[in-house]
Amino acid sequence: MEKNKLMNSKEKSVSDIKARKADLEKEIKRLENKFAKKTERVKKRVDSTMKPIQRIKKRPFVAVSFAVLTGFVLGSGTGGRRRKNSTANKSDSLTSLITVELKKLAARRAIELISDYVDSELIPRLKKSRSGKGSDEDFLDS
């Protein structure tokens, strides 16, 4: 009789362990699916933020033109003149300061993009087209 109780308790504990194992496997699958979905969302976000950068790299001159045009439009909005009026609103001066800093930042970024484009695209093309001409190649290597 005691042997039957022992066998029943062992079978019960084994069945409990198997049930727990099945539950844990389900939980692991659920977590894997959740993680896969989150990873996919992050990938989509990264792809969507990289699209403008890819567009700029494909067409740097269009991007620079757009930046210059934007700078011109923003600059013409302030009129390009300083106010001598001492009653000028402080928020207006703060806005113009921010605008100036944004223009500087856009100009720096445009120059960086042009420089990267020249380094990665134009110089290798020039080297290929002028290979064998001597002095021009030495100039490009310096």
* Contact criterion met (CB below 8 Å) for 112 and 57: no
Please write the tens of the pLDDT for every residue from 10-33.
777 888 899 999 999 999 999 999
> Is 69 found in the same domain as 107?
yes
The domain tally of the chain equals 2
In a domain, 106, yes or no: yes
Please write the tens of the pLDDT for every residue from 123-141.
777 777 777 555 444 444 4
Q: 1 lies in which domain range? A: 1-51
pLDDT at 35: 92
pLDDT at 7: 64
> Is 13 found in the same domain as 69?
no
pLDDT at 4: 65
pLDDT (mean) for 85-108: 74
